Amino acid sequence: MDVLRPTLININGRMYRRNMIKEEHYEEEEDCSYMEPTESEDAADETCDSHFIEQTDKGYRCAIDVPSVLYKYIIGKKGETRKRLEADTKTSISIPKQGVEGQIVITGSHKSAVSSAVTRVEVLMESFRKKQPFTHFLSFPLNDSKIQEGFLTFKDKVLQQFSQDHGVEGSIFQNPAKLHLTVGTMALLNDMEVRKACEHLQECQRFIRDITDGKPLPLQVTGIEYMNDDPAMVDVLYAKVNVKDGSDKLQVIADRLVEHFVSAGLMIREWDRVKLHGTVMNTLFRKDSTVEDTGGTGRQAVSEREAFDARNILKTFGAYCFGEFELDAVLLSQRYSTDCTGYYSSAGSISFS
């Protein structure tokens, strides 16, 4: 860590420095049990705006909703992290049994002590939440029957003409039933967080309908492009998707969705603008048929990927038309899932019309 430019974590509007300490916990090098408030927020341990601290006969109490998958990071190896938190803040921290969804309850004789413990638990949660693989993603489905037909024709022609090119084989093509655009990914760690994401998606319906005038969005899927700099060593080949009238409505909707979910604390912003791309070929699919392109890195290590030579494909199919269709929904899709249509199972959705 650069001591002059330490990593900062934003917790409810306050900034904290992350101290780097060599620990044995879960093979991590970061121990977020100790977080120093920045100078401008040196009173952070004295207040707790995000949680209600109630006064009881024995002192003070605060209950925090924490997904069960994060309990182990607050407990620590042999309970060391919890013990250290309790000793430092002079509080008692009650954690449900592993696998049982519930609340972590913090009690103490002084309100400031409980507030300090709450803040430290929140910092731990925020740090380790970022390490969880994503479970859901917002998607624009491209699996319209006309687009699937155009994709299968593209696949057949590519394999007929260029199967001798390095790395080109049938296994690296996308499943036509799962053609989609990824808007953004989320790690939703329990049913409550999934419900929260669904509620926020519903809140987006108004601005989407304002943009589309309450009508489906006519799209055309035409042309292909690759992700990296060398067309002879490609890992991802994708179809370009545009609104038929040439407007940027689809891009605006995607960017507004990400802005909303980032503000809600459910999504991490990766780029200034969403890069909308419909993956048609991906080398992650080559060795693991269960890998699905949803905007993440997949299960396969990048070093294991075998790139393919896309030069002839790009030259021949650079302007290939997969088809046109009307997009009428954005879905909260579940990673590694399949519904009755072959698309990803949906936890929630909103329509454009």
- The three-class DSSP label of residue 110 is coil
Between 302 and 87, residue with greater pLDDT: 87
Same domain (yes/no): 118, 177:
no
Domain membership of residue 47 (yes or no) is no
Show which of 130, 162, 186 is a domain's final residue: 130
Residue 239 has pLDDT above 70, yes or no: yes
Residue 165 has pLDDT above 70, yes or no: yes
Q: What count of residues does the chain have?
A: 353
Same domain (yes/no): 141, 112:
no
Backbone angles phi, psi at 237, to 5 degrees: -115, 130
Tokens representing 100? 């049982």
Same domain (yes/no): 156, 121:
no
Confidence band, pLDDT 50/70/90 cuts, at residue 130: confident
User: Among 58-62, 140-144, 284-288, 312-316, which is the least confidently predicted range?
Assistant: 284-288
Domain membership of residue 15 (yes or no) is no
Confidence band, pLDDT 50/70/90 cuts, at residue 101: very high
Give the pLDDT of residue 287.
73
- Residue-wise pLDDT for 241-296, tens only, equals 999 999 999 999 999 999 999 999 899 888 889 999 999 999 999 976 566 666 54
Give the pLDDT of residue 41.
37
Same domain (yes/no): 62, 89:
yes
Confidence band, pLDDT 50/70/90 cuts, at residue 317: very high
How high is the mean pLDDT of the chain? 87
Same domain (yes/no): 102, 180:
no
Tokens representing 305? 């990927």
Domain membership of residue 102 (yes or no) is yes
Instruction: Please tell me which of 17-21, 33-37, 224-228 the model is most confident about, judged by mean pLDDT.
Output: 224-228
- Report the side by side order of strands in the sheet with 91-94: 54-56, 59-66, 102-108, 91-94
Confidence band, pLDDT 50/70/90 cuts, at residue 23: very low
- The three-class DSSP label of residue 155 is helix
State the pTM of this model: 0.79
Contacts of residue 92, defined as CB under 8 A and 6 or more positions apart, other chains included, come to 86, 106, 107, 108
Give the pLDDT of residue 13.
57
Beta-bridge partner residues of 236:
282
Give the pLDDT of residue 126.
87
Between 147 and 47, residue with greater pLDDT: 147
Domain interval for residue 122: 53-130
DSSP 273-297: S----EEEEEGGGTT-TT---SSS-
Domain membership of residue 16 (yes or no) is no
Residue 146 has pLDDT above 50, yes or no: yes
**CATH code of the domain containing 90:** 3.30.1370.10
Show which of 91, 115, 130 is a domain's final residue: 130
CB burial of residue 245 (10 Å; 0-12, 13-18, 19+): exposed
Same domain (yes/no): 254, 151:
yes
- The three-class DSSP label of residue 80 is helix
Domain membership of residue 179 (yes or no) is yes
Taking alpha carbons only, the member of 122, 171, 102 closest to residue 9 is 122
Mean pLDDT of 140-160: 98
| Total domains present in the chain | 2
Same domain (yes/no): 152, 252:
yes
Contacts of residue 247, defined as CB under 8 A and 6 or more positions apart, other chains included, come to none
What are 76-82's contacts with CB under 8 Å, separation 24+? 76/25, 76/33, 77/24, 77/25, 77/26, 80/25, 81/25, 81/31, 81/33, 81/124
Confidence band, pLDDT 50/70/90 cuts, at residue 298: very low
